[in-house]
A and B are shown apart, each in its own frame.
Chain A
Amino acid sequence: MKPIVEVHDLTVMVGGRRGLLVRNVPPVRAVDGVGFELGQGEILALVGESGSGKTTLGRTLLGLQRETSGEIRLDGTTVSGLAPEAARRARRDIQYVHQDAGAALDPWWSIGRTLAEGLLIHGVRSAAERVDRVAEMLAAVGLDPAWGRRYPHEFSGGQLRRVALARILLLRPRVLILDEPTSGLDMSVQATVLNLLLELRERFSLTYLFISHDLSVVERLSDRVAIMHLGRIVEIGATKPLFAKPSHAYTRALLDAVPRLEGRSTSIGMPVAAK
Chain B
Amino acid sequence: MIPVLDVRGLKVTIRTDEGRAEVLDDVGLKLERGRILGVVGESGCGKSTLIRAVMGILPKGATVEAGEIWFEGENLLVFSERELNRQVRSSRIGFIPQDPLLALNPVFKVGTQLLEVMRWHAPGTRRDHIARLVMLLRRMQVPDPENALERYPHQFSGGQRQRLLIAAALSCAPRLVIADEPTTALDVTTQHQILLLLRELVSEFDLSLLFVTHDFGVVAELCDDLCVIYAGQTVEAGPVQTILRAPSHPYTRALLACHPDRATSFVGIPGLVPSPLARPAGCLFAPRCADVRAGCDVRPGLGRAPSGAQVRCVQFT
Contact = CB atoms under 8 A, between A and B. Distances in A.
Do these two chains really belong together in a complex? yes
A190 interface: yes
Given A260-B220, A260-B221, A263-B220, A191 B258 contact: yes
A260 B221 CA distance: 7
Contacts of B217: 216, 258-261
B204 to A, nearest CB: 14
A220 B263 contact: yes
Contact of A187 (B193, B258, B272): B258
Contacts of B215: 187, 259
A59 to B, nearest CB: 20
A192 interface: yes
B192 A186 contact: no
Contacts of A259: 191-192, 195, 215, 217-218, 220-222
Interface in A178-206: 184, 186-195, 198
A274 to B, nearest CB: 5
Contacts of B192: 256-259, 265, 270
Interface stretch (B113-121, B182-190, B294-302): B182-190
A156 interface: yes
Contacts of A194: 266
A262 B262 CA distance: 10
Which of B159, B187, B262 lies at the interface centre, i.e. has the most chain A CB atoms within 10 A of its CB? B187
B266 A198 contact: yes
A215 interface: yes
A257 B261 contact: no
B265 interface: yes
A274 B258 CA distance: 30
A194 B263 CA distance: 11
Given A217-B260, A259-B215, A261-B244, A195 B265 contact: yes
Given A254-B188, A257-B191, A264-B220, A189 B268 contact: yes
Interface in B247-288: 254-256, 258-263, 265-269, 272
B75 to A, nearest CB: 33
Interface string B174-208: 00000000001001111111011000000000000
Interface in B123-159: 158-159
A257 B191 CA distance: 8
A189 B267 CA distance: 9
User: How big is the B interface, by class?
Assistant: 35 or more
Nearest to A215: B188
Nearest to B216: A261
B241 to A, nearest CB: 7
B109 interface: no
A274 B190 contact: yes
B8 interface: no
A117 interface: no
B48 interface: no
A254 B189 contact: yes
B250 to A, nearest CB: 12
A192 B266 contact: yes
B42 A186 contact: yes
Which of B192, B222, B259, B260 lies at the interface centre, i.e. has the most chain A CB atoms within 10 A of its CB? B260
Contacts of A268: 196
A195 to B, nearest CB: 4
Contacts of A263: 220-221, 241, 244
A14 interface: no
Nearest to B200: A268
A126 interface: no
A16 B260 CA distance: 40
Interface of B: 42-43, 158-159, 184, 187-193, 195-196, 214-218, 220-222, 241, 244, 254-256, 258-263, 265-269, 272
13 contacts: A49-B189, A188-B254, A188-B268, A194-B266, A195-B267, A213-B188, A216-B260, A220-B263, A259-B218, A259-B221, A265-B221, A269-B196, A270-B189
Given A49-B189, A213-B188, 11 more contacts: A184-B184, A188-B269, A189-B42, A189-B268, A191-B263, A257-B193, A260-B221, A261-B216, A261-B220, A263-B241, A274-B159
Closest 5 CB pairs of A and B: A259-B217, A192-B268, A257-B192, A191-B268, A195-B266
